[in-house]
Structure 1
Amino acid sequence: GQTTAWNWQQGCMLQWLPGSQSTVLWNDREGGRFVCRILDVKTAVSRTIPWPIYSVSPDGQYGVTPDFGRIADVRPGYGYAGIRDRNASELAPESNGIWLVDLNSGQAELIISLKQISEMGEIPNQQPGIKHYFNHLLFSPNGKRFIALHRWRYPDGKRLTRLITANTDGSDIRLVVPNGYASHFIWRDPKHILSQSKSLVGNDKWGNFLFADRPNGILKEVGKGVLDPSGHLSYLPQDQNWILSDTYPKGTERNQTPHLFHVPTERRVDLGDFHLPKVYTGEWRVDTHPRVSRDGRWVCIDAVKPGEGRQLCVIDIRGLTQSLSAP
């Protein structure tokens, strides 16, 4: 496959279609719009639906998507170039937001508009001229709800973020992290979310916090002083006692460190240090973005190899997690 819808931080959203052992999907550009290609890599049978996809439901039937053109305008590195936001002049348009896409029919419905979310609850540090957008969507493990980050950019380029959840039809919107400070997140289970935030439960700095899926759902901090407070989070699929994360470049050596965190013992296990040269900064940076295989054995990261640039590296963690989880 090929694509002309790509960014430095998330590529073309290439991902497996849930429920299939051989079908993948990714975003592309065709006829003046962003689309999604769906390909069976064994049979070579392919089809195209006229909408891009961000997250896919666990049953493989639906996707949710923001406007990648709008994201490209307000947050370079996360949207797609080439197709301009048709609502670029509007701060919170009623015709832009999050769409639910039927992966079988290709039909889509706008389920939450930017106008709607901008008028919901209190916008922290409300100022004239702030521009609203959605990014970072993720279905819950049972597919009944999804997370989205509601973000707004100030005229000086700074931004704040609320973490919301909603039913797949856009109903029952909950401001789970309403204080304007939300970042990397992951569902722990259908009712709980691990997310980074700040100024919560006595910690005025950034940390990892467990939330219930309810308005202002803060429960407790997780891994304070051990689990990195800015890493890209996920749970191992077979054992949610393990959290996979990473770091941004640290110190003069600019090393990035993917690591595992064992929740019951609060023990951290580093998986390696990966140097990131100074030339890789801003939009072009290479975060390790650790991902775990569906069987929980392999961790895949992005890293830079001297003289060869951006690479994919695979780490076998099976023996490590088995030995450390043993009684």
Structure 2
Amino acid sequence: MIRNTKFFFKGHLITLILILIIGFSCSNYKTSISIQFPKVCEPIQITKEGKDHFFASYYGINSFSQNQKYVTVLETDIKYRLPTECDTATLGLVDLKSLEFIPIAKTTAWNFQQGCMAHWLGSNPDSLIIYNDIRDGKFVSVILNVHTIKEKKIIPYPISAVSPNGKEAVSINFSRLRKTRDSYGYGGNGQDAKLDKVFPEDDGLFILDLETGKKKLLVSFQDIKELVPEVPNDGLEYFNHTLFSREGSKIFWLARARPNRNTTAFTINRDGTNLKKCFPDGWGGSHFDWLNDEELMVTAEYKKQQYGHVLFTVGDKDYKRLGNGILDYDGHGTFSPDGKWMVTDTYPKNGLKEQKIFLMDMESETVLPIGRFPQPEKYKKKWRCDIHCRWSPKGNMIGFNSTHSGSRQAYIIRLKN
């Protein structure tokens, strides 16, 4: 079905002669390096045509149950426009053995980029999930047992990231996000967007206690006013793209502004201390992942000269572009659970309008292309379908979205040693 739309290298042991394969000067690299890349199997379409499907959270967020029997997926009839608060999507599980789609809930708080932000909860990662919804006109998050289909708790705030232990979550203003970057927010008036204030003192980055349902403001918009580029009087500062570090001690997020989307990347300790900018002014920032609790990868404009996948330690000024020049672009990079690999993708900017997937060995930074998928023209606006790779807990599967079949569907690639 997809054999002619991608390419794979399948050898168990691939000896890569860097000067021949990726064209680098041997003055900076060994003449040859033996890399034990895993065997990359052909992608498996895990959802069926007829309706559009995609993973129910942002890239890099675990969509797999801990036992890797199920993944969380959204099903929708909406294709070529942004969803509104009147558009219901079905949240379901795909059984990775039978490929059956099992409906478990409905939600009206979702978008094509980040789904309904479904997370498996670390306290019970085979049974409990949390996802966003609209109840009585308000944005909330729902903790659900996927097997009994019983709601365990409704938190009166939406979530954008969940801590590894499943006890805390980050919350932002999705109504404000809808007004500042509409393809990432939710329709409706589920929160006060505070559109009359460029830097509100009572809004920003919140942390939620998922046991008590209480929230605490960690960083307000006013707190970062002097740390970000000046915003025009008709502009609005907004927060998006939040993520806990691997052990949960820190939180990363992006502060951006409408209308020109000036971007500043920040980290802060989970307790609200040690607020730090990640990059010098003008580097911006886009996509990201934590390698551990100290090291981050963010795609940014390195030295204001070259966009790339930039690895650094929080608080240090030693920035390193990953990929030996191959990954000098804005992609959605995310690390395997053991930190050995990084998978990333591209936007469809080449002449064939293909989205590509690359796997990189973190030790040698050798890059292996593992797939290419053409994107139809009708999926290239605000309802675009990014590849958005994500790892399984055991690191032997990569999930991604694609429209190369003519509709939006979810896929997995199995990796075998």
TM-score (norm 2): 0.71
Partner of 2:221: 114
Higher mean C-alpha displacement, 273-282 vs 60-69: 273-282
The answer to whether 1:207 aligns with 2:308 is yes
Q: Which 4+ runs in 1 deviate beyond 4 A?
A: 125-128
Inter-CA distance 284–257: structure 2 relative to 1 (3 Å threshold) = same
Native 8 Å contact 1:227 1:261 kept in 2: no
Inter-CA distance 75–18: structure 2 relative to 1 (3 Å threshold) = same
Distance 2:296 2:177 in 1: 24
Partner of 1:325: none
Native 8 Å contact 2:246 2:290 kept in 1: yes
Deviations 1:118-169 (A, max 9, x none): 13x3x3365444311110110111111110111112xxx3211111111123
The answer to whether 1:286 aligns with 2:388 is no
The answer to whether 1:76 aligns with 2:182 is yes
Native 8 Å contact 1:70 1:79 kept in 2: yes
Native 8 Å contact 1:228 1:245 kept in 2: no
Distance 2:240 2:142 in 1: 21
Partner of 2:240: 135
The answer to whether 1:54 aligns with 2:148 is no
Partner of 2:109: 5
Native 8 Å contact 1:209 1:218 kept in 2: no
Distance 2:173 2:199 in 1: 13
1:279 aligned counterpart, secondary structure:
helix
Q: Which has more radius of gyration?
A: 2
Distance 1:144 1:261 in 2: 26
Partner of 1:299: 398
Distance 1:310 1:87 in 2: 34
1:72 aligned counterpart, secondary structure:
helix
Distance 1:50 1:221 in 2: 41
Native 8 Å contact 1:260 1:269 kept in 2: yes
Partner of 1:234: 334
User: Which of 131, 153, 172 is the equivalent residue of 2:274?
Assistant: 172
Cα drift, residue 178 of structure 1: 3.9
Query: Alpha carbon RMSD of aligned pairs, Å?
Result: 1.7
Q: Gapped runs of 5+ residues in structure 2?
A: 1-104
- Highest RCO, 1 vs 2 (Cα 8 Å, sep ≥ 6): 2
Cα drift, residue 199 of structure 1: 3.9
Distance 1:166 1:43 in 2: 37
Distance 2:245 2:371 in 1: 30
Partner of 2:211: 104
Native 8 Å contact 1:228 1:246 kept in 2: no
Distance 2:162 2:193 in 1: 25
- What letter corresponds to residue 113 of structure 2 in structure 1? Q
Partner of 1:27: 132
- What letter corresponds to residue 36 of structure 1 in structure 2? S
Distance 1:178 1:49 in 2: 37
Cα drift, residue 306 of structure 1: 3.3
TM-score (norm 1): 0.90
- What letter corresponds to residue 161 of structure 2 in structure 1? S
- What letter corresponds to residue 76 of structure 1 in structure 2? D
Inter-CA distance 260–228: structure 2 relative to 1 (3 Å threshold) = farther
Cα drift, residue 228 of structure 1: 5.0
Partner of 1:150: 255
Native 8 Å contact 1:226 1:267 kept in 2: no
The answer to whether 1:247 aligns with 2:346 is yes
The answer to whether 1:195 aligns with 2:298 is yes
Cα drift, residue 264 of structure 1: 2.3
The count of aligned residue pairs is 309
2:371 aligned counterpart, secondary structure:
coil
Distance 1:257 1:40 in 2: 35
Cα drift, residue 233 of structure 1: 1.2
Partner of 2:414: 316
Percent identity at matched positions?
35
Partner of 2:43: none
Distance 2:237 2:402 in 1: 32
Distance 2:318 2:364 in 1: 22
Deviations 1:268-300 (A, max 9, x none): 122211110111123111000001101101111
Cα drift, residue 114 of structure 1: 0.6
